Amino acid sequence: AAAGEESDVVVVGGGPGGYVAAIKAAQLGLKTTCIEKRGTLGGTCLNVGCIPSKALLHSSHMYHEARTSFAHHGVKISNLEVDLPAMMAQKDKAVAGLTKGIEGLFKKNKVTYVKGFGKLASPSEVSVDLIDGGNTVVKGKNIIIATGSDVKSLPGITIDEKKIVSSTGALCLSGIPKKLVVIGAGYIGLEMGSVWNRLGSEVTVVEFAPDIVPSMDGEIRKQFQRMLEKQKMKFMLKTKVVGVDTTGDGVKLTLEPAAGGEQSILEADIVLVSAGRTPYTAGLGLDAVGVETDKGGRILVDKRFMTNVNGVYAIGDAIPGPMLAHKAEEDGVACVEFIAGKEGHVDYDLVPGVVYTHPEVASVGKTEEQVKASGIAYRVGKFPLLANSRAKAIDDAEGLVKVVADKETDKILGVHIMAQNAGEIIHEAVLALQYGASSEDVARTCHAHPTVSEALKEACLQTFSKAIHI
Ligand code: FAD
């Protein structure tokens, strides 16, 4: 849309939810404007989330492999060292390339890109404080709020991004801390903890809950924690942080058992607070327009992603549901399809989850605990990577595949994988669940040999019959 002209769709926020919605809207022939305050597109995910974290996870994994595994494979290296500025530069280059790429996609699809902070002035107008100065009002028949989320701190803890950092600070530390304490054992804390652990930090993860990553299948979670402990990460579960002292060189944390009891002190050079994220709606003018949120500040929407205000929609991390980039993208596409008068659909039961440690942990569908609680009779098929020829050939055989299937119909209800590349292998399972496949369907599908994917086929065989290789 040219300046001043009314758009069909105005998207506030250029993250994976917002930019995908904008491109899809333009592809459907709608005149589209996207407003982003950051100065670059791609949101949390590309700038300070998924992409830079995966860049550092890969680089640190390469160093760790070189240090611990290369010799065993007959590859000798001397004088191995980490060049942290170079590692950070490769990460920054990846981020810059991808964010610029989205700008290119906006141009290609004729999405108008307005750089500035948007505020709802009415259900059809967004007032924008432009990054380059001045203000403009963008008019739209439909407004999509895609403002995402922000880091959440804990009571009594101030994130200064120096000694007490959020994931954003943990992605650009200027040196390798000797001692890193991670508060919160969710996927972001474990991924960032892994990065610095591999680079040489002593990492301790403090978690209030009795378990790490509570959404994970219990059996997989136990093996996952054991695997991280083998990699020398320490865990203090059922523990709360009750005091923080930053007056000395490092940080002194006062800890207490979650149930109360004797306090202890834990020292760190850097503390990473990864205790969850909170919807980002500050200064957006939701109250002025009357958009309803829940207690946690998440914008409430109906099945068509419309808020209680006609013509105002919301998607992604700003609404309830898993705070994941691919979920935000799915929301964006479905929301725009509804706006264009078509049918949109997101299957929230089949949003895969991946923790990008090594090995990776990926899952889709229900955990065994969830199936048990629902009262459905079920069978479990498991296959260890130790019995998978590809994993053995490359000496990377830690993990297992677990399949939960309905006992009567054999329909697959959930798949949980801990394996190198689990984040890629899981999509075969996502498709299987999407199409209502039985474990026999997967087991009778020819899988290339030797691949780690064969472990999924064998786990499926194991649910209704017998795997060949165990
Ligand atoms: P966001 O990506 O947060 O984008 C919202 C955008 O809106 C931001 O760019 C913001 O600047 C802009 N904005 C906000 N308010 C305004 C305003 N008033 N005016 C203009 N612009 C505004 N998810 C995964 O699926 N896989 C991963 O591997 C993964 N890794 C992660 C690692 C880390 C360290 C973090 C922090 C997150 C990770 N996530 C991952 C989560 C993922 O980043 C989010 O789920 C995803 O970015 C949500 O997309 P969104 O479009 O809803 O919001």
pLDDT in tens, 410-447: 999 999 999 999 999 999 999 999 999 999 999 999 99
Instruction: Examine the residue annotation and report whether 64 is marked as an active-site residue of this protein.
Output: no
The DSSP call for residue 438 is B
**In the structure, what pLDDT confidence band is assigned to residue 41 with cuts at 50, 70 and 90?**
very high
pLDDT greater than 90 at residue 394? yes
Name the phi and psi angles at 442, rounded to 5: -70, -40
pLDDT greater than 60 at residue 1? no
Adjacent-strand bridge partners of 126: 120, 138
pLDDT at residue number 460:
98
In angstroms, the Cα distances linking 175 to 68, 94, 396 are 22, 20, 30
pLDDT greater than 60 at residue 113? yes
For residue 87, the CA-to-ligand 1 centroid distance in Å is 23
Spatial separation of the C-alpha atoms in residues 3 and 14, rounded to whole Å: 19
Pairing state between β 32-36 and 112-122? parallel
Which of 50, 115, 281 gets mutated to test ligand 1 (max ligand atoms within 8 A of its CB)? 50
Asked whether residue 416 is marked as a ligand-binding residue, the answer is no
Quick count: other Cβ atoms within 10 Å of Cβ 305? 26
For residue 1, the CA-to-ligand 1 centroid distance in Å is 25
**In the structure, what pLDDT confidence band is assigned to residue 5 with cuts at 50, 70 and 90?**
confident
pLDDT greater than 70 at residue 4? no
pLDDT greater than 80 at residue 2? no
Asked whether residue 185 is marked as a ligand-binding residue, the answer is yes
Spatial separation of the C-alpha atoms in residues 329 and 317, rounded to whole Å: 10
Q: How many residues does the chain have?
A: 470
Structure tokens at 318: 């700003």
The protein residue with its alpha carbon nearest to ligand 1, atom 37, reads: 49
Pairing state between β 400-406 and 412-419? antiparallel
pLDDT, one tens digit per residue, over 278-301 is 999 999 999 999 999 999 999 999
Is the whole-model pTM more than 0.90? Answer: yes
Q: Is 50 in the pocket of ligand 1 (CB under 6 A)?
A: yes
Strand-by-strand arrangement of the 239-245 sheet? 239-245, 251-257, 264-268
Adjacent-strand bridge partners of 34: 11, 113
For residue 327, the CA-to-ligand 1 centroid distance in Å is 11
* Burial of 279 from C-beta contacts in 10 A (0-12 / 13-18 / 19+): buried
Q: Is 146 in the pocket of ligand 1 (CB under 6 A)?
A: yes
Which of 197, 154, 219 lies closest to 369 in space, CA to CA?
219
